[in-house]
Structure 1
Amino acid sequence: MVSKQNRKYCHRETGSKIRPTVVVGLFLILATLTVYWQVRNHEFIGYDDDGYVTENPRVQNGLTLKNIIWAFESTHKSNWHPTTWLSHMLDVQLFGMNPGGHHMTSMLFHILNSLLLFAVFNRMTGKLWQSGFVAAMFALHPLHVESVAWVAERKDVLSTFFGMLTLWSYARYAEHPDTNRFLPVIGFFVLSLMAKPMLVTLPFVLLLLDYWPLRRAKIRSSDDDAGNLQPRSLVFFLIWEKIPLFFLSLASCFATFFVQRKGGAIGTFDTHPFFVRVSNALVSYTKYIQKMIWPDNLAVLYPHPASIYWWQVIGAFLLLSGVTFLAIRYLKKLPWLAVGWFWYLGTLVPVIGLVQVGTQAMADRYTYVPLIGLFIILAWGVPQLVDRWRHKTKLVFTILTTLFPILIATSWIQARYWQNSITLFRHTLDVTSANFVIQNNLGFELAFQSRTDDAIKHYKEALSINPDFEMAYINLGKALLSQGKLDESVNYYQNVLAIKPNYAGVHHNLGIMLLRRGEIDKAIFHFREALRIRYDYAEVYNSLGAAMAARGEIKKAIMYFKEALRIRPDLLTAEQNLNKLENKMALKSKVTLDFK
């Protein structure tokens, strides 16, 4: 549904509209390919790609009935996103473990998202060139490279794909509201949430679009369902029709919180106090705007600050409050300002850090959908700003022919950093500080290339930044082991535990090394210590089962393997160990029976 003015626009352009639409579509496709065609030669990244693809046996086995069931049952990676798992499995089915195919799939979804965004706003507003601008900014902005060039972020582009189909279906529904047209809205929204719960705020976005550009708050008397409603009743009607969507959002929020808390992904207030979270949220809102305008020093991870300067918090609060005041003040005169601004603020809420997930202060991938709101403001604001200028057409043409080549070049360079793990991590360390997670990750990649001495340097650097970073201790011990220094590695872990006795992962790895040395009882002691610290550590139950099997206590071993699978049904090593023991017992039973 479009306003009367927009309807006139549509009728006026009917005869010549096909060619400009095709031109915009071709530009979106070709420009996006220019930026991202390189990803066909990129590798998997040693940061979450392992959990999603390269070290995930379920995904590597492709689309099987058992794996499809697992996709709907699994909370692996502290998320419930079956659509994403199925997408990765299909990639493996089509391309095997060739990373180029996986990357090209993500690129294809990004192109489709750009085209759908253009189609949605062109249908809603009738403004072809403004809609094309929004879609082009979405397709080409460097902040969106992370979502496209990172296989593990398939969930971003996939969730947005179904989100765009939700918007398209809603635009169609808004033209002639009826139940049959609303069912696709619900269906695509469910698929979006099943890919990633980022778009839980989409029902609120639909309310914004009801106000502008759909103008459903001013429905004409010819509309059957709402033509005779008073303003208050009309607002109630617009909210009421979206109750199923709000219910789905609420269910997704509860499920996500439960799963992420169970997976240990949600930070505590001890590590991230509430005041620091609020301060970081305010500053992050302004930093995203800054990076939209000047996208430099982009990184795969921005470390969360221990504290933030008071002047940054006050400045961010004043900026956000000021723009919010203007958006409300000029709500009727400049509706696109309010819609774009509240789109930006609202869609960032789930990931702005009030509920802290992970160690990052902010992330480029979080802007994939929210920046559309700011692009709306630019697309409708700039033409209105220069409307009375004498040479406005030349000015706008000059801006666009300068802006888009710059975006293409900048995004191409940014995508280049994603060609492999070492290139990406080195760049991140160049543009961030105190980044202990990436120091550790770079060390891990160097160790994988047998550059163990270099790896050890980065592990030690990570620990100098954060002495409580357990993973760096574990990796450092493994690096010593890879150099054939088993005794030194054992001594290192023992020294770590003497200082920091409550590291479950260190107890686990020390137990594995002691098991290798044949010191079964000592290994079992450390496995049990790990479980004392973290009772739901599935991998430790699996190791404890292996230790019991080595000691000949088969029934106990089976019990521990089953417990590991109860906690993590997707832990294939435990499943394989259990199958081996059960097969061995069955064979032994058969031999005994035959003997009798």
Structure 2
Amino acid sequence: MINSNGLNEAETPKSILIKYSPQFLIVGIILLFYIHNLWFDFTYIDDNLIVFDEYEKINSLFDIPSTFVNGYLYDNYYRPIVMTSFIIDTAIAGQSSMMYHLTNIILHIIVSLLLFKILTKIGFNDKVSLITTLIFAIHPLNTNAVSWIVGRNDLLLAVFAVGSLYFYLRYRETRSNFYFSLSLIAYFFAMLSKEAGILVPVIILLFEIIHNENKSIKWNRIYLLLYFFIPAIVYFCLRSFVASINVREEISFNSFIQNIYILFEYLAKTGYFLYIDPLPNKNTTLILIGSLLLVLLITYTILNRKDNRIRIFMFGFLMFLIIVLPTLFVRVNADDGEFNYIDCRMYLPLFGIMISYAVIIEKIFVSLSKPVIIVLGTSIFIYLSLFTFLNNQVYKSGLTYWSAAIEKNPQRATYWMGLGFYYFDNKMYDKAIHCAENAIRIKPENTEYYYKAALAFETTGDLIKANDVLERSINIDKDNPVTVVNLIKNYLKLGKKVKADVWLSKFLAIDLKSKREKADLTSALAYYYAQAKEFNIAIKFMKIAIDVFPDNAGYNNDLGVFYVKNGIPDSAKIYFEKAIAKDSININYKKNLKTINN
């Protein structure tokens, strides 16, 4: 029946509000806890690299196709969907952190709503589904994924992995090929978001095996899952034969043995929040709590093996294991030689754990009286809220993030360097120097820290102290050509050519095996000597760079400039013409040649 406003009476605004009140509540609670993230800055752990150091990869919508052939984070990963999301953010708001945070919040909302839908699909009532979803939505363990911009990897993985599962459940209900196709597409996007997406068919297969009321395998559905090989093959072809990536991670069984404690720590953090840190370190308390919780979960499964709901409980728990265990084979050490794992990787596994916990929550509703449930629910909400609020404050800026990491573990050199990067980018050079010196004190064998300290001194104009630091570095790594070149540069700026020439002799004695390194360093020396008006030496080193890469138009043009400065226009003309031949549309090269001809 149509009312006077032209609406079906069953679909009035009031009825819609009532019908979708759980979804509105989920969105409202998430915004309550995370909306202030819009005013958070960058944390200076990878987010600054993506938005600033690799800005040329995300500064235009026309860069979207290139994400499918290039790597992510210095070409270490293949995640074109993540890069595409950053490109869209940048197109909307430039390098402002606000848009990046807003997208993370939206993705978290989508995943939370999908959790609610899936819980209702597999038989939980709205009340149990809502409470479980709210726990997930404001769980402190998720702050790393939601509030850290680079947590986008795991948010997008969850959106598409869970989306694939949801569409598959819709297919089981309707037998519609449309939903099955959406499940395959979401699976493909999950893989393009993060490598763990490859596991989605395993999760769906697990669901088919466990969530089967007839306790007999329907082989037609199992065979149907073979279609998931199609997007998987396309993904591996793109990754292996099209994309240019350079994986730095160690993937081995030895890594798995070293990382196995993380499984227990992750389990512990699903309910014990005291040690949820921005950069976790191995924690004996968490390992013990996680081990105890694992025993309890297994015991619960055994004791309730005849309960119809135990299949759902097992599905959620096994989903957690399926996603977590393969990641333990991967290990990347920080630049101080230590190992970091981060909690955003628990975002999708926590989704599985929430399915298991929904079974327990359902039993609580049946077993306890309403007043007890209210008191218990309020206590849990306060418990979650307190730790989520406190953990979220860590992500306000690089200062809050790295200060919190240092407070937890002041003997990690890489944490001091992280804080130093924040100070350096914000032009607080004295504090950046202090941080670098602390890193050197903790890990004196790491020459990278000396280089960063020297850079901060250089920026303040104190070239003498910069060289003091660089010479300390040379005592550790005697044949580091980058350090030697920086010493030459600084001594030339100080007008101490004799000392510069001493270090130049040292440089010439170093065997540079990499062509790229040889070209980069010799061309850099050419520029430094040109700035010191030593054009003969500048010409000599630029010729070496050109010998390595003769088709580099920039090198040829700059050599022409050096010849002009040295009063040899005929030679300059030759190299300007070479530069134009290699890059005919460059206006500056043409202007240089025109100046010579006139």
Q: Is TM > 0.5 for Structure 1 vs Structure 2?
A: yes
SS at match of 1:417: helix
Aligned 1:352-391 pairs, distance under 5 A: 352=328, 354-359=329-334, 360-384=339-363, 387-389=366-368, 391=369
Q: Distance in 1 between matches of 2:394 and 2:105?
A: 16
Q: Distance in 2 between matches of 1:499 and 1:512?
A: 20
Q: 1:466 to 1:218 in 2, by over 3 A?
A: farther
Comparing 160-169 with 501-510, greater Cα deviation is found at: 501-510
Residue 339 (1) aligns with residue 315 (2): yes
Q: CA deviation at 1:561?
A: 9.1
Alignment-mate amino acid for residue 411 of structure 1: T
Q: Distance in 1 between matches of 2:552 and 2:291?
A: 50
Contact 2:265/2:287, CA 8 A, preserved across alignment: no
Q: CA deviation at 1:298?
A: 2.8
Q: CA deviation at 1:301?
A: 1.7
The number of aligned residues is 537
Other-structure match for 2:561: none
Alignment-mate amino acid for residue 112 of structure 2: S
Residues 420-470 of structure 1: CA distance to partner in whole angstroms, max 9, x if unpaired? 111111112222353221111112222334443333332232233333434
SS at match of 1:79: coil
Q: Distance in 1 between matches of 2:299 and 2:230?
A: 30
Q: Which of 409, 412, 426 is residue 389 of structure 2 equivalent to?
A: 412
Q: Distance in 1 between matches of 2:304 and 2:485?
A: 60
Other-structure match for 2:228: 245
Q: 1:278 to 1:156 in 2, by over 3 A?
A: closer
Aligned 1:544-555 pairs, distance under 5 A: 544-547=522-525, 551-552=538-539, 553=542
Q: CA deviation at 1:170?
A: 1.0
Q: Distance in 1 between matches of 2:151 and 2:487?
A: 33
Contact 1:511/1:527, CA 8 A, preserved across alignment: no
Q: CA deviation at 1:205?
A: 1.5
Q: Distance in 2 between matches of 1:394 and 1:21?
A: 26
Q: 1:240 to 1:494 in 2, by over 3 A?
A: farther
Comparing 447-456 with 508-517, greater Cα deviation is found at: 508-517
Aligned 1:185-584 pairs, distance under 5 A: 185-213=183-211, 215=212, 218=214, 231=216, 234=218, 236-245=219-228, 248=231, 263=246, 265-267=248-250, 277-303=255-281, 320=294, 323-324=297-298, 327=301, 333=307, 334-352=310-328, 354-359=329-334, 360-384=339-363, 387-389=366-368, 391=369, 393-501=370-478, 506=483, 513=490, 532=513, 535=514, 541-547=519-525, 551-552=538-539, 553=542, 556-557=545-546, 560=549
Unpaired runs of at least 5, structure 2: 1-13, 531-537, 555-578
Contact 1:147/1:368, CA 8 A, preserved across alignment: yes
The alignment's C-alpha RMSD in Å is 4.1
Q: 1:181 to 1:28 in 2, by over 3 A?
A: closer
Other-structure match for 1:75: 71
Q: Distance in 2 between matches of 1:33 and 1:541?
A: 52
Q: Comparing both chains, which one has the higher relative contact order based on Cα–Cα distances under 8 Å and sequence gaps of 6 or more?
A: 1
Other-structure match for 1:113: 111
Q: Distance in 1 between matches of 2:439 and 2:84?
A: 35
Q: Distance in 2 between matches of 1:583 and 1:160?
A: 48
Alignment-mate amino acid for residue 58 of structure 1: E
Q: Distance in 1 between matches of 2:127 and 2:509?
A: 65
Q: 1:121 to 1:388 in 2, by over 3 A?
A: closer
Q: CA deviation at 1:127?
A: 2.7
Overall identity of the aligned pairs, in %: 18
TM-score, structure 2 as length reference? 0.77
Other-structure match for 1:51: 49
Q: Distance in 2 between matches of 1:183 and 1:523?
A: 64
SS at match of 2:122: helix
Q: CA deviation at 1:113?
A: 1.6
Q: Distance in 2 between matches of 1:34 and 1:584?
A: 54
Q: Distance in 1 between matches of 2:324 and 2:164?
A: 19
Contact 1:48/1:152, CA 8 A, preserved across alignment: yes
Q: Distance in 1 between matches of 2:363 and 2:523?
A: 70
